[in-house]
Amino acid sequence: MITCFDIGGSAIKCAVAASDGQIGDLQRVPTPTHDFAAFVDVMRALIAEGGPSRGVAISIAGVVDTSEGRIKCANIPCIDGRTLAADLTQALGLPVWIINDADSFALAEAQAGAGRGHANVFGLILGTGVGGGLVYNGQLIGGPGGFAGEWGHGPVAAQFAGTPPQAIPRFPCGCGQAGCLDTVGGARGLERLHQHLHGQRIDSRAIIDAWQAGDAQAALTIDCFVDLLTGPLAMLVNTVGASILPVGGGLSNSAPLIARLDTAVRGAILRKTDAPIIVPGQAGAEPGLIGAAWLGLAKLGQAHA
């Protein structure tokens, strides 16, 4: 039995995972964001409440540099820059394994969701921004520095999109570059596109609702949004050979939007198929905990092999 955590800037979620990957009852507490001692105390209490544990697996919204083990996690200042796995192992007296939340989603979908039965699965995050993770032949691909799957960054966003073609600026990105897909691809990107095209600042859900109601301005925004993502996603599919791309994040709740994106991408890839390849995630309400569970169980098995 291992203890799994899904840690964000607002809440720490915790559950116990059995050897078959099934997770137990969920515990949820506020995240101590500025006090590392309090952060550790909360984790220690949750572990004790769950009973004897053989290890701790954590899904977290951050990136871990695999060369040094340091985490970059801007929304939890007390752990930002720490060698978190090593620090927690020492503090908790248990082995600790950490996984990025997008990688955790990909692993959960590969093991227990839409990716079951597929050799290569790319977990696609369309949330506030965009992200992803790759599971290849059942193994999570981390890559040097732990940045594999981060398809949202790199100056590759098209400068014209939609029909008729609309000029799209190279919006500055939080990573320091300009023209990244992250600037136009998630919920904030959808809103940014709409404001650029129509001078209106409205919520992404309102844009999608207006599109579904037949609003012409919203339809143009969605047209540009899908156009901007289709080429990069088609190239991604052709490159990594993923046969299924489960989608998580807030925009995955719009089935019509995901279906529209799927149709466009299937029309642009080399392998032609009538079966959807971009689909809403199916791993359940807690993919972070599920992904962490599978990671921890795999690591525990490797340690005792």
- Mean pLDDT of the region 58-77: 80
Amino acid at 93: G
Phi, psi of 98 (to 5 degrees): -125, 140
Q: What is the pLDDT of residue 305?
A: 41
**299 and 262 fall within a common domain:** no
The structure tokens 């921004």 sit at 129
**90 and 129 fall within a common domain:** no
In this model, does residue 64 exceed pLDDT 90? no
3-state secondary structure of 55: coil
Exposed/middle/buried for residue 94 (C-beta within 10 Å: 0-12, 13-18, 19+): middle
Structural domain harbouring 41: 2-101+285-303
CA distances from 248 to 133, 281, 283 (A): 11, 6, 10
Q: What is the pLDDT of residues 97-134, one digit of tens each?
A: 998 888 889 999 998 899 999 999 999 999 888 889 99
Least confident of 47-51, 76-80, 281-285: 281-285
In this model, does residue 302 exceed pLDDT 70? no
Amino acid at 171: F
CATH classification at residue 232: 3.30.420.40
Computed over every residue of the chain, the mean pLDDT equals 90
3-state secondary structure of 122: strand
Cα–Cα dist 74/13, whole Å: 19
**170 and 123 fall within a common domain:** yes
Q: What is the pLDDT of residue 248?
A: 92
Q: What is the pLDDT of residue 147?
A: 66
Count the Cβ atoms, other than its own, within 10 Å of residue 231. 17
Count the Cβ atoms, other than its own, within 10 Å of residue 193. 28
Number of domains the chain is built from: 2
**DSSP H or E segment with residue 208:** helix 204-212
Q: Give the model's confidence band at 61: pLDDT under 50 very low, under 70 low, under 90 confident, else very high.
A: confident
**69 and 180 fall within a common domain:** no
- Mean pLDDT of the region 23-35: 90
Within a domain: 94: yes
Q: What is the pLDDT of residue 211?
A: 98
Amino acid at 167: A
Closest CA to 57 of 114, 12, 5: 5
Within a domain: 186: yes
Q: What is the pLDDT of residue 99?
A: 87
Q: What is the pLDDT of residue 143?
A: 62
Cα–Cα dist 2/291, whole Å: 13
Within a domain: 246: yes
Cα–Cα dist 72/82, whole Å: 8
Least confident of 32-46, 61-75, 151-165, 169-183: 61-75
Within a domain: 106: no
Question: Are 242 and 134 contacting, i.e. CB atoms less than 8 angstroms apart?
Answer: yes
**220 and 297 fall within a common domain:** no
